[in-house]
C-alpha cells in the first residue's frame, strides 16, 4: 500500500528549505521564479499528499500560489500552532532545515485541511485592506508621538505627517469602495453584511477579504475558522471558563468591535448580551458569545443572500 508523502517548506526572503516525509529528503531552492520552477519539479516527483508552509508576513504567498496552481494540495499554518507543536515534541533547536522537517511532521501528524486561495480580485482586496491597516497603525503611532512631544518644530512635522497619512487612509477607503462596486459578488455580500446593525464598512470589508468562506460553511466550522468557537478548559474535577483561541486574528478583532457596537444598537444581540449578564456571565464572556452569535447570523445571511431580518433567517446548516 503506498505511503502518503508530506512536504514542509520553511520560507525566507532568499530561499525555500523543503523537507519530504517519510523519505527524509531535504533540499533548498531560491525564493524566486527560477527557484519556484525547480520546486515544482521536485514536488511533481514526490507527488505529495499535502504541502505546508508557515505564514511569514506575505513571503510565503508566491510559493503557495505556485504550488496550488500546479495542482498540489497546500496549507498555510499559523506560526503559533507550529510553535506549540514543536514544544510538545520537545524540540527547541532551530535552523531552516529543522523548521522544514518540523512543518512536514506537523502535516503528517495533524493533516490540516488544504486551502483554496482566493481569486485575483479577492487577493487584491486583501492587499488593499492590509495596506489600510498599516496606515491606520502609522497614524496611531504618530498621534501618540504628537501627544508626548514638547518641541514646536517636531510637533509641526508630526502634524504634517498625520495630515498626509489621513489623506492616504481616505484614498484607500475610496479605492476599497471602488473595488466593491466593480465586483458584483463583493457588492451583493457587502450589502448583506452592512444591513446588520453593528456591522460597518471596515467590519464588512475585513470579512470579505479575510473570511471568503463566509456563507459556505456550517455554523461550527465558520466559528472555528474565525477563532470564536468556545473551547473546553477542564481538567479532572476542575471546570474552567470556555475560551476562544486561534483562528484569524483580524477577523476576531473586527468581530469584537462589531459586537461592542451591536450590544448597544442591535436589539437581537442586546437581548442576548443582557440575558447572559443577568444569568451571571461576566460581561467579557457575554461579549464573546455575542461575537459568535453575530458571525453565525452573518454566515446564514450571506448563504441565503438575505438582508438583516433575523426572524426570517435560519442559522442552521
* Global pTM value: 0.74
Same domain, 50 and 150: no
Is residue 54 located within the same domain as residue 148?
A: no
Q: Is residue 286 part of a domain?
A: yes
Beta strands in the chain (DSSP E): 6-11, 15-21, 25-30, 50-54, 74-77, 234-235, 238-239
Distances (CA, A) of 56 to 41, 80, 259, 261, 305: 23, 12, 30, 33, 35
Do 76 and 154 belong to one domain?
no
In this structure, are residues 43 and 67 in contact, taking their beta carbons and an 8 Å threshold? yes
Residue 187 falls within a domain, yes or no?
Answer: no
Q: Which of 32-46, 221-235, 258-272 has the lowest mean pLDDT?
A: 221-235
Residues 141 and 48 reside in one and the same domain: no
Q: Are 269 and 263 in contact (CB under 8 A)?
A: yes
Are 30 and 76 within one domain? yes
Q: Which helix (H) or strand (E) holds 302?
A: helix 283-304
Count of structural domains within the chain: 3
Contact (CB, 8 A) for 73 and 51: yes
pLDDT at 240: 46
Residue 287 contacts by C-beta under 8 Å, 6 or more apart in sequence? 256, 259, 260, 263, 273
Structural domain harbouring 158: 120-182
Distance CA 143, CA 295 (A): 33
Block residue for cell numbers 509641526: 156
Q: Using the predicted structure, report yes or no on whether residue 118 has a pLDDT greater than 50.
A: yes
Tens of pLDDT, residues 277-298 = 999 999 999 999 999 999 999 9
Q: Which three three-digit cell numbers place residue 183?
A: 465586483
Looking at the structure, do residues 129 and 105 belong to the same domain, yes or no? no
- The bridge status of strand 15-21 relative to strand 25-30 is antiparallel
Are both 52 and 132 inside the same structural domain?
Answer: no
Give me the chain's average pLDDT, please: 88
Domain annotation covers residue 91: yes
Same domain? For 238 and 296 the reply is: yes
Verify that 213 and 308 share a domain, yes or no.
yes
- Residue pointed to by grid coordinates 447572559: 276
Q: State the CATH number of the domain containing residue 52.
A: 3.30.420.10
Residue 299: inside a domain: yes
Within-domain flag for 192: no
pLDDT at 169: 97
Residue 195 in any domain: the answer is no
In this predicted model, what pLDDT tens digit does every residue of 77-101 receive, in sequence order?
Answer: 888 888 888 888 888 778 889 999 9
CB neighbours of residue 35 within 10 Å: 18
Could you read off the pLDDT of 231-254 as tens digits, one per residue? 443 444 444 444 544 567 889 999
Residues in the chain: 317
Amino acid at each position: 500500500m503506498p505511503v502518503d508523502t508530506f512536504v514542509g517548506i520553511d520560507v525566507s526572503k532568499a530561499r525555500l528549505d523543503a523537507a519530504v516525509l517519510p523519505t527524509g529528503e531535504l533540499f533548498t531552492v531560491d525564493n524566486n521564479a527560477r527557484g519556484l520552477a525547480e520546486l515544482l519539479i521536485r514536488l511533481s516527483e514526490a507527488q505529495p499528499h499535502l504541502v505546508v508552509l508557515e505564514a511569514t508576513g506575505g513571503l510565503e504567498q508566491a510559493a503557495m500560489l505556485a504550488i496550488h496552481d500546479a495542482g498540489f494540495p497546500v496549507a498555510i499554518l499559523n506560526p503559533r500552532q507550529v510553535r506549540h507543536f514543536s514544544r510538545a515534541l520537545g524540540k527547541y533547536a532551530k535552523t531552516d532545515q529543522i523548521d522544514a522537517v518540523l512543518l512536514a511532521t506537523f502535516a503528517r501528524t495533524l493533516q490540516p485541511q488544504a486551502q483554496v486561495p482566493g481569486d485575483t480580485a479577492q487577493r487584491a482586496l486583501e492587499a488593499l485592506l492590509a495596506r489600510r491597516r498599516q496606515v491606520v497603525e502609522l497614524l496611531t503611532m504618530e498621534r501618540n508621538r504628537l501627544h508626548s512631544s514638547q518641541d514646536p518644530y517636531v510637533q509641526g512635522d508630526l502634524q504634517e505627517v498625520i495630515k498626509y497619512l489621513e489623506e492616504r487612509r481616505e484614498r484607500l477607503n475610496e479605492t476599497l469602495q471602488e473595488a466593491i462596486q466593480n465586483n458584483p459578488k463583493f457588492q451583493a455580500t457587502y450589502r448583506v453584511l452592512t444591513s446588520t446593525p453593528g456591522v460597518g464598512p471596515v467590519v464588512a470589508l475585513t470579512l470579505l477579504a479575510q473570511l471568503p468562506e463566509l456563507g459556505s460553511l456550517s455554523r461550527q466550522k465558520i466559528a472555528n475558522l474565525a477563532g470564536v468557537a468556545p473551547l473546553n478548559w477542564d481538567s479532572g474535577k476542575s471546570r474552567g471558563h470556555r475560551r476562544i483561541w486561534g483562528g484569524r486574528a483580524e477577523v476576531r478583532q473586527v468581530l469584537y468591535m462589531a459586537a461592542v457596537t451591536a450590544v448597544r444598537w442591535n436589539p437581537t444581540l442586546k437581548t442576548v448580551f443582557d440575558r447572559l449578564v443577568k444569568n451571571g456571565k461576566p460581561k467579557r464572556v457575554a461579549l464573546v458569545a455575542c461575537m459568535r452569535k453575530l458571525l453565525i447570523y452573518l454566515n446564514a445571511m450571506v448563504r441565503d443572500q438575505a438582508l438583516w431580518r433575523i426572524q426570517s433567517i435560519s442559522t442552521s446548516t
